[in-house]
């Protein structure tokens, strides 16, 4: 295991405890491009040894986003923090760069290059940028040799991220400050680039049968989170049933596996969770239905609770069944005609709890046309030896059968079953 090294920061402020929900992270003033999942996992293992995050008096995050994510994933509601004052001759971004460069995961060369562009856009001198980023003046000069091209590259990167996050053109215009006509042209070019890059991209994990054997978590996709699934399941689902820039909706997004796969494969996404751990996942309780913005989705991916997790959210299996009934009807009404739904479900036959993937199939069949049943088995190797021995002694089989049911919304589909859930 890696060792955590933190440089003592020159500050004498008192450490306080701050509610995580109150902390504000402003993307425009935060120096990192992406979340590093392995760093978050390392911090989770060392949660009691982490130094406090840094925030301003109005609770804007200066330093410590990876630590903040680690606390969220560990179920904490508050986090140690040090409140600092922004000097009159500095900005929040400049201060964030300083502290992010001094300890923990260091800024990458690409991140520093992007930051040089951002500081250049704010009229910082090359000498000052060199000092802030601890990068040679000659390197800064090379990075900013064509400032207009640098601005376009950084701007297009932000626009690409917002396009994939399914932001409206008005939201993108407000973010960038560009005119509506200019933005229309740029968004069109960005979408063309995404389509060109993604249309011929075939995932390395491509499966050619209806048995998908993926074991363990792919660290490229999603934060480590209870109920993590292999990202390759989502990769294959999107490859077979969507095209670039299609809208993918995940109402139980967890650690963000679907989000990260969509970003890698050039699909737009809307992700929700009752307890989001990431800023690109919106807080929403799917038991109330889908938000209006998810309407006309091209694909919905569902990974509902199964196994013992059912009782974390529902009082009994009957209540869980009612939830599936409503979820099926709501999903049908949220998909566009011809849209696809993938629901991943695992047989659970251990102990007093019985939940079958076939029961899930039956409930969704009342609303949507079935296309495929794909087996995605878990590995028995992940079960603790003591539990395996217990199952042997009781002559019971381990439940590892996990089924991915794929359905389609089809206006002509009329199964011979009735439902009490109204169509809208």
- For residue 244, CA distances in Å to 196, 230, 340, 343, 406 come to 9, 21, 15, 21, 19
Residue 309 pLDDT: 57
Tell which CATH architecture fits domain 1-107: Alpha-Beta Complex (3.90)
Of the options 3.40.50.150, 3.30.70.20, 3.40.50.620, 1.10.1200.10, the CATH number for the domain spanning 231-408: 3.40.50.150
Residue 160 pLDDT > 70: yes
Residue 62 pLDDT > 90: no
Write down how long the chain is: 424
Q: pLDDT averaged over the chain?
A: 84
Residue 11 pLDDT: 45
Measured in whole angstroms, the distance separating CA 299 from the mean position of its chain's CA atoms is 16
Are the beta carbons of 336 and 409 closer than 8 angstroms?
yes
Residue 149 pLDDT > 90: no
Are the beta carbons of 214 and 181 closer than 8 angstroms?
no
Q: Taking residues 30-56, report their average pLDDT.
A: 86
Residue 424 pLDDT > 50: no
The C-alpha atoms of residue 293 and residue 53 are separated, in whole angstroms, by: 34
Using alpha carbons, select from 149, 152, 151, 156 the residue that is nearest to residue 190: 156
Residue 6 pLDDT: 40
Residue 417 pLDDT: 57
Residue 101 pLDDT: 66
Per-residue burial over 369-408, b if 16 or more Cβ lie within 10 Å, else e, is bebeebebebeeeeeeeeeeeebeeeeeeebebbbbbbbb
Residue 420 pLDDT > 70: no
Confidence of residue 354 (pLDDT cuts 50, 70, 90): low
Confidence of residue 4 (pLDDT cuts 50, 70, 90): very low
Quote the tokens at residue 302.
Answer: 């569902």
- Name beta bridge partners: 17: 80
> pLDDT for 12-23, tens place per residue?
467 899 999 999
Residue 340 pLDDT > 80: yes
Residue 10 pLDDT > 50: no
The C-alpha atoms of residue 301 and residue 237 are separated, in whole angstroms, by: 9
Residue 387 pLDDT: 66
Q: What percent of the chain has pLDDT over 70?
A: 84
Confidence of residue 422 (pLDDT cuts 50, 70, 90): very low
Confidence of residue 368 (pLDDT cuts 50, 70, 90): very high
The C-alpha atoms of residue 359 and residue 357 are separated, in whole angstroms, by: 5
Strand-pair category, 15-19 with 78-83: antiparallel
> pLDDT for 96-134, tens place per residue?
887 776 656 678 888 888 888 888 878 888 898 888 888
Are the beta carbons of 367 and 334 closer than 8 angstroms?
no
When computed from its CA atoms, the radius of gyration of the chain, rounded to whole angstroms, is 24
Task: Check residue 307 and give left, alpha or beta (phi > 0: left; psi -120 to 50: alpha).
Answer: left
Residue 288 pLDDT: 93
> pLDDT for 402-419, tens place per residue?
899 999 999 898 886 555
Within 13 Å of residue 145, how many CA atoms lie on the same side as its CB?
Answer: 4
Q: Which of 47-56, 61-70, 173-182 has the lowest mean pLDDT?
A: 173-182
Quote the tokens at residue 269.
Answer: 């996404």
Tell me the CA end-to-end span of the chain in Å, nearest whole number.
53
Residue 77 pLDDT: 93
> pLDDT for 218-252, tens place per residue?
888 988 877 788 999 999 999 999 999 999 999 99
Residue 20 pLDDT: 93
Are the beta carbons of 297 and 270 closer than 8 angstroms?
yes
- For residue 15, CA distances in Å to 85, 315, 354 come to 14, 41, 49
Residue 1 pLDDT: 32
Residue 418 pLDDT: 54
């Amino acid at each position: 295991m890696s060792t955590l090294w933190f440089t003592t920061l020159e500050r004498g402020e008192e450490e306080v405890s701050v509610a995580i929900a109150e902390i504000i992270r402003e993307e425009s003033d935060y120096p990192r491009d992406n979340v590093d999942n392995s760093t978050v996992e390392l911090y989770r293992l060392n949660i009691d040894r982490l130094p406090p995050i840094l925030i301003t008096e109005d609770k804007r995050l200066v330093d410590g986003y990876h630590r903040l994510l680690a606390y969220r994933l560990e179920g904490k509601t508050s986090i140690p923090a040090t409140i600092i004052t922004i000097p009159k001759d500095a900005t929040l971004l400049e201060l964030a760069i300083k502290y992010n460069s001094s300890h923990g995961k260091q800024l990458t060369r690409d991140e520093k290059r992007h930051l040089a562009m951002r500081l250049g856009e704010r009229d910082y001198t090359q000498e000052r940028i060199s000092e802030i980023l601890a990068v040679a003046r000659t390197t800064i000069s090379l990075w900013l040799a064509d400032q207009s091209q640098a601005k376009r590259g950084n701007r297009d990167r932000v626009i690409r991220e917002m396009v994939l996050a399914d932001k409206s053109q008005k939201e993108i215009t407000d973010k960038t400050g560009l005119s509506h006509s200019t933005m229309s042209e740029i968004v069109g070019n960005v979408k063309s680039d995404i389509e060109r890059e993604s249309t011929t991209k075939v995932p390395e994990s491509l499966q050619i049968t209806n048995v998908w054997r993926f074991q363990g978590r792919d660290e490229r996709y999603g934060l480590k989170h209870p109920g993590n699934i292999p990202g390759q399941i989502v990769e294959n689902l999107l490859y077979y049933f969507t095209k670039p820039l299609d809208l993918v909706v995940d109402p139980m997004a967890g650690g963000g596996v679907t989000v990260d796969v969509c970003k890698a494969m050039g699909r737009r996404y809307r992700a929700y969770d009752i307890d989001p751990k990431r800023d690109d996942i919106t807080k929403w309780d799917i038991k109330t239905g889908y938000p209006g913005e998810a309407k006309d989705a091209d694909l919905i991916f569902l990974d509902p609770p199964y196994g013992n997790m059912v009782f974390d959210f529902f009082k009994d299996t009957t209540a869980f069944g009612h939830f599936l009934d409503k979820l099926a009807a709501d999903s049908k009404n949220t998909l566009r005609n011809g849209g696809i739904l993938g629901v991943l479900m695992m047989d659970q036959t251990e102990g007093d709890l019985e939940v079958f993937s076939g029961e899930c199939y039956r409930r969704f069949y009342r609303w949507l046309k079935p296309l495929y049943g794909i087996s995605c088995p878990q590995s028995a190797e992940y079960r603790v030896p003591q539990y395996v021995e217990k199952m042997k002694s009781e002559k019971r089989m381990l439940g590892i059968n996990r089924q991915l049911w794929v359905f389609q919304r089809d206006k002509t589909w009329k199964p011979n079953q009735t439902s009490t859930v109204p169509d809208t």
